[in-house]
Amino acid sequence: MTSAISAQGLAKDFGKVRAVRKVDLEVARGEIYGFLGRNGAGKTTTIRMMLGLIRPSSGTIALFGESVRERRIAALKKVGFLVESAAAYPNLTVRENLELQRRLTEAPKGAVESVLERLALGEYADRRSGHLSLGNKQRLSLARALVHSPELLVLDEPANGLDPAGIVEIRGLLRSLADSGITIFMSSHILSEIAQLADRIGIIHEGRLIEELGKNELAKRKPLYIELSVDQPERAAAILGERLALREISPGEGGSLRISDAAARCADIARELVTAGIGIDRLLPVEENLEERFMRITGGEA
């Protein structure tokens, strides 16, 4: 089956600056793909090329098998998108904005009321969009992206401006859309949301797609280190070094120890310490979450 998104060797130069460097990307139909990167990493540039808003310096990108460069209108017919910031005509009401979008996309007449209900915008339907809160402007932009029932949603920071309750609602909406077969490609700085939603995650850094992780890979993360709390930390460190040849043992808070070279040896550590008569208060393998992994491999903040 044709992929929803297919990019080969995608690159973009702005003068002497190479913003995106030969990205290869495949997103399956019905998948939620989380696209992560630091500011300036190339996320938005990649998304804008995907939507035909800027032309690649080299490489190709296709949506549902249609070349964005050669057949942009056909490629984007099945796509709804929200890029960079919420946008609407400020002097038109919410309903008027959606009606205009409905006509432009040739969606059926009932689409506006349906999407008003879906995005909880009914009470604001007759309010000018320029008078909406940032969160409701974001909801309106999502509604505009959905009004023609697209097969692919491309979202750049869809939770921007939403309060915690709104973020939870949008998470539920996106999951229900994916369950109904819609493909979602989304970038976000809220890494915990990406971790909960995405079927697959791609991390872009300095214009390169440096890592892709599937949900199974995230779920099977190996422990990074062991946090150990004992009644004789110095003696415990000496025993583990002597009997198990552990060398990466460092002191933590309150007399605890961190063991970095034995993440899978909890049973061995417990056995040696108990045999030596050392009391164990805590023996905890610590896994790396998505945010920590992101920070480690990009060397900076999201």
- Can you give the pLDDT at residue 1? 64
pLDDT at 293 over 50: yes
Domain final residue, candidates 151, 184, 214 = 214
| Close Cβ partners of 107 (under 8 Å, ≥ 6 residues apart) | 101, 147, 148, 149
Regarding whether 270 and 151 lie in a shared domain, the answer is: no
Whether 300 maps to a domain, the answer reads no
DSSP secondary structure letters along 62-120? EETTEETTTSHHHHHTTEEEE-SS----TTSBHHHHHHHHHHHHT--TTHHHHHHHHTT
Angle at 104 between CA 159 and CA 34, to 5 degrees: 25
The alpha helices in the chain, defined as continuous H runs, are: 43-50, 72-76, 94-105, 111-118, 134-146, 164-179, 191-197, 215-219, 233-244, 266-275, 290-298
Same domain for 242 and 193? no
Judgement on whether residues 21 and 109 belong to the same structural domain of the protein = yes
Write the pLDDT tens digit of every residue in 228-280.
999 999 999 999 999 999 988 988 777 789 888 766 688 899 999 999 999 99
Q: Structural domain of residue 49, as residue ranges?
A: 5-214
Shared domain check, 125 and 91: yes
Same domain, 90 and 121: yes
Residue 13 within a domain: yes
Cα(26)–Cα(44) distance, integer angstroms = 17
Q: Is 302 within a domain?
A: no
Is residue 297 domain-resident? no
For 167-177, the pLDDT digits (tens) are: 888 888 888 88
Instruction: Tell me the pLDDT tens digit for each residue of 41-99.
Output: 999 999 999 999 999 999 999 999 999 999 989 889 999 998 866 678 999 999 999 99
Residue 301 lies in a domain: no
233 and 94, same structural domain?
no
| Contact by Cβ (8 Å): 151, 78 | yes
Do 107 and 177 lie in one domain? The reply is: yes
163 φ/ψ angles, rounded to the nearest 5 degrees = -75, 170
- Out of 214, 249, 283, a domain closes at 214
Whether residues 39 and 147 share a domain: the answer is: yes
In a domain, 299, yes or no: no
The pTM for the full model equals 0.76
CA–CA gap between residue 75 and residue 293 (Å, rounded): 34
What's the total number of domains in the chain?
A: 2
**At 227, which CATH number?**
3.30.70
* CATH code for position 137: 3.40.50.300
Top mean pLDDT of 10-14, 162-166, 184-188, 249-253 is at: 10-14
Based on the fold, state whether residues 181 and 45 are members of the same structural domain: yes
Q: Is residue 108 one of the residues assigned to a domain?
A: yes
CA–centroid distance for 109 within its chain: 33
What integer best gives the mean pLDDT of the chain? 88
Whether 178 maps to a domain, the answer reads yes
* Domain co-membership, 150 together with 39: yes
CA angle 204, 57, 18 (to 5 degrees): 45
Residue that finishes a domain, picked among 214, 236, 267: 214
Question: Do residues 118 and 179 share a domain?
Answer: yes
pLDDT band at 302 (very low <50, low <70, confident <90, very high): very low
Shared domain for 78 and 203, answered yes or no, is: yes
Q: For tokens 């004789």, name the residue.
A: 232
Look at residue 266 in the predicted model and tell me its pLDDT. Answer: 86
d(CA 184, CA 66): 17
d(CA 46, CA 19): 9
